Amino acid sequence: MIIVRLSDGLGNQMFQYAFGRALSTRRGVPLRLDVSAYRVERKRRYELHHFLTEETFVTDEEAHRVITRPHSPDEPWWSQPVVREPHFHYSPDVVQVSSAGYFAGYWQSERHFDDVAPLIRLEFTPKQPLTGANLEVARAIAARNAVSLHVRRGDYICDPKVNILHGVCSLEYYRAAVAYVAARVEKPEFFVFTDDPDWTRTKLKLDFPAYLVTQNQDAPVEDLRLMTLCRHHIIANSSFSWWGAWLGEKPGQIVCAPQRWFGAYPHDTRDLVPDRWTRLDG
C-alpha cells in the first residue's frame, strides 16, 4: 500500500497525488490518501474530489500498519516505512521505493509520473461540466488563439514567510513572456487568471486583446480547467499554473515559465520545468 500525504493548495495536491498514483500503478498496490493536514489547515482545503481521481482515504489502522512495519535503520531512505522527499529535484532512487510506504513531500517533477501521463491526465478531468460564465469563457477560448497568463500574488505577498520562500514574478517577466509569445503566435489573445484582480487590472498592461477571468476566486478548479483549454501558456512560479500548462499540452504549444521559481531559498528546480518549455528571467 502506498500512502501519500496531501498538503497545501490544489497544485501541490495534484503533484502529490500524481506521484503516489504512479508508484501504486507500477507496484500494483492500492493508493491511499492522507488528508489529515486539512483538519487543522485554515487557508487551504482538500480539492481533488473535483476530479476523476482514485479517492480512497487512509484509515488510522492502515497508516499504523505501514508506518510501523519492521525495517532496519540501515536501509536506504527509499526503503524506510516513512519516506521523506530528500531534496526538491528528482531523485532516480525513488523508483526503488518499497511497495508499502508513507510518502511525505512535494514531488514536483513530471519525471515522477511521465510513464503514466495519460492516466494522470484522465484522472485530472473535472467531474462536473462547464456552466454559466465559465462556459462562455471556454467558448471564447476555443474561438481564439488563446494564451493563458497566470499572475500569482495572494499569499506570496500577504504571508511574509511565503513571500521570502517564493517571491512574485515581476512585470518585466510578464512583458518578456508576452513579447516571446507574440513573436511566434499569430494574433494572440490573452486570458488572464489571478488571485489579485485589482492589482492585475491596474498594473498589467498588454498591447494585445486580454480578458481578465475573475469569477472563480473560490473555485480554483474552474480556473485550472479554463487554463488547460488555452493553446499557449505564460505561467507564474506556481504549481497551479504549471498544471494548467501540463494538462493542456497541445502540438506546437508554447509555455513560458520564470527562470527563478523561489526567492531566498536555493532549491534546485532543474526537474520542475520540462525542457520543452521556455524559461525566462523573472
- How many other CB atoms sit within 10 Å of the CB of residue 53? 21
Q: How far apart are CA 91 and CA 111, in angstroms?
A: 9
Residues 213, 276 share a domain: yes
Same domain, 87 and 155: no
177: containing domain: 132-280
Same structural domain, 160 and 100: no
In 3D space, the residue among 89, 11, 77, 16 whose CA is nearest the CA of residue 266 turns out to be 89
What is the C-alpha separation between 10 and 47, in angstroms, rounded?
6
| pLDDT beyond 80 at 98 | no
Into how many domains does the chain fold?
A: 2
Boundary-marking domain end, from 78, 96, 123: 123
Q: Give the span between the Cα atoms of 266 and 89, in whole angstroms.
A: 11
N- to C-terminal Cα separation, the chain: 41
Phi, psi of 151 (to 5 degrees): -110, 110
- Average pLDDT, rounded, for the chain: 91
Q: Is 55 in the same domain as 176?
A: no
Q: What is the pLDDT of residue 160?
A: 52
Last residue of a domain, one of 91, 123, 155: 123
For the domain that residue 251 is a member of, what is the CATH number?
3.40.50
- Does pLDDT of 138 surpass 80? yes
CA distance 228 to 81: 36
- Tens of pLDDT, residue by residue over 151-177, are 987 655 555 554 545 568 999 999 999
Beta strands per DSSP E along the chain: 2-5, 31-34, 82-84, 101-104, 145-151, 188-194, 210-213, 232-234, 255-258, 278-280
| Most distant CA pair in the chain, distance | 63
User: Does one domain contain both 149 and 260?
Assistant: yes
pLDDT at 76 over 80: no
Same-domain pairing of 14 and 115 = yes
User: Do 137 and 195 fall within a single domain?
Assistant: yes
Last residue of a domain, one of 68, 95, 123: 123
Give the helix/strand (H/E) hosting 241.
Answer: helix 239-247
Whether the per-residue pLDDT at 77 is higher than 60: the answer is: yes
pLDDT one-digit tens code per residue, 27-37: 999 999 999 99
What pLDDT does 161 receive?
A: 57
Euclidean distance between CA atoms 58 and 257, whole angstroms: 35
- Look at 66 and 182; give whichever has higher pLDDT: 182
Cell numbers representing residue 141 in the block? 477560448
Tell me how far apart the alpha carbons of residues 83 and 97 are, in angstroms, rounded to a whole number: 9
In contact, 157 and 163? CB cutoff 8 Å: yes
pTM, 2 dp: 0.93
